[in-house]
């Protein structure tokens, strides 16, 4: 077992409470480098709070969270800040700056570094636009001119601006119609294969979940009750899993995913 690489995210014994409301209790989760890990759970089970904790934006009552081997709980402020250049976040709904052009939205994390010359910023933004299937002309548009699918693409381009090793996606396909949703899933899959970043995603959408996830972490009873490949999670006996996955929609999504998997989801760890 000594050659097992260390996890890129390591959460041990996490406890999160808001007053008397205990959201996480003795929660543990490890994310492996290069995988796509999906977090699911009922509404209010603490998925968003967990993402915020991993990003160092909330203080747990107990436990440890290490990202890239470094504590985001009791690490030095400057060190935690430096970690932010190694991850990218796609917020639910895109969260673009409405007063900035597409170009300036994508350039934002690059300009924040205050070290890159404008020519380099231009090059990086152009590359990111092409990564997500947008043109230089799209860079001139304002967020209000964009369709829902384009907003997600721009948000993804911005999340990838600093070429992060780790990407967080909060409900990446929420609000998209099925065709746009499939296209966005395909885009994430292709970029993940080409660039090799690690993905931690929250989604309610079973098509997205089955198309992308190497493993699924189920949040229930204030902790991760199972973290395993989708097929194994489906076998796990728990009322939430039965309701969430094995309804009519879940079975259809699984059938679709297995057909898909046979075609192009090989060679993954």
Ligand X SMILES: Nc1ncnc2c1ncn2[C@@H]1O[C@H](COP(=O)(O)OP(=O)(O)O)[C@@H](O)[C@H]1O
Nearer to Mg ion, 174 or 261 (CB): 174
Cβ density class 127-149: b for 16+ within 10 Å, e for less:
ebbebbebeeebbebebeebebb
Q: How buried is 14 (Cβ within 10 angstroms: 0-12 exposed, 13-18 middle, 19+ buried)?
A: buried
What gap in Å lies between CA 139 and CA 53, rounded to an integer? 33
- Closest approach of ligand X to the CB of residue 204, in Å: 10
Binding test (CB under 5 A) with Mg ion, winner from 28, 48, 71, 122: 48
Strand ranges for 84-143 from DSSP E: 87-90
The residue sitting closest to Mg ion, measured at its beta carbon, is 48
Q: Which does 208 bind (CB under 5 to 8 A by kind): Mg ion, ligand X, none?
A: none
What gap in Å lies between CA 153 and CA 8, rounded to an integer? 25
3-class secondary-structure state, position 208: helix
Strand ranges for 45-192 from DSSP E: 62-67, 70-71, 87-90, 166-170
Nearer to ligand X, 65 or 106 (CB): 65
Q: Which stretch binds Mg ion (CB under 5 A): 40-48, 67-75, 109-117, 151-159?
A: 40-48
Nearer to ligand X, 43 or 115 (CB): 43
- Closest approach of Mg ion to the CB of residue 193, in Å: 28
The residues of the shown chain that bind ligand X, judged by CB under 6 A, are 18, 21, 23, 41, 43-49
- Closest approach of ligand X to the CB of residue 251, in Å: 24
- Which residues form the interface with Mg ion (CB under 5 A)? 47-48
């Amino acid at each position: 077992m000594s050659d097992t690489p260390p996890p890129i995210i390591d959460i041990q014994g996490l406890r999160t409470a808001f007053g008397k409301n205990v959201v996480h209790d003795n929660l543990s989760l490890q994310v492996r480098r290069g995988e796509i890990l999906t977090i699911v759970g009922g509404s209010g089970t603490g998925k968003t709070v967990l993402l915020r904790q991993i990003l160092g934006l909330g203080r747990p009552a107990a436990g440890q969270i290490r990202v890239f081997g470094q504590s985001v709980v009791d690490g030095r402020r400057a060190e935690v800040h430096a970690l932010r250049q190694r991850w990218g976040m796609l917020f639910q709904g895109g969260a673009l700056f409405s007063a900035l052009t597409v170009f300036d939205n994508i350039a934002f994390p690059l300009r924040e570094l205050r070290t890159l010359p404008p020519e380099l910023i231009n090059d990086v933004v152009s590359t990111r636009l092409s990564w997500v299937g947008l043109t230089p002309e799209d860079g001139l548009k304002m967020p209000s001119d964009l369709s829902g699918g384009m907003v997600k693409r721009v948000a993804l381009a911005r999340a990838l601006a600093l070429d992060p090793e780790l990407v967080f996606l909060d409900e990446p396909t929420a609000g998209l119609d099925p065709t746009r949703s499939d296209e966005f899933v395909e885009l994430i899959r292709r970029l993940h294969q080409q660039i090799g970043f690690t993905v931690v995603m929250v989604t309610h959408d079973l098509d997205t979940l089955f198309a992308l996830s190497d493993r699924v972490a189920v949040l229930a009873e204030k902790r991760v009750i199972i973290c395993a490949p989708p097929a194994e999670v489906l076998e796990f006996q728990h009322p939430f899993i039965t309701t969430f996955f094995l309804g009519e929609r879940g079975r259809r999504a699984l059938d679709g995913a297995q057909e898909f998997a046979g075609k192009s989801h090989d060679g993954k760890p």
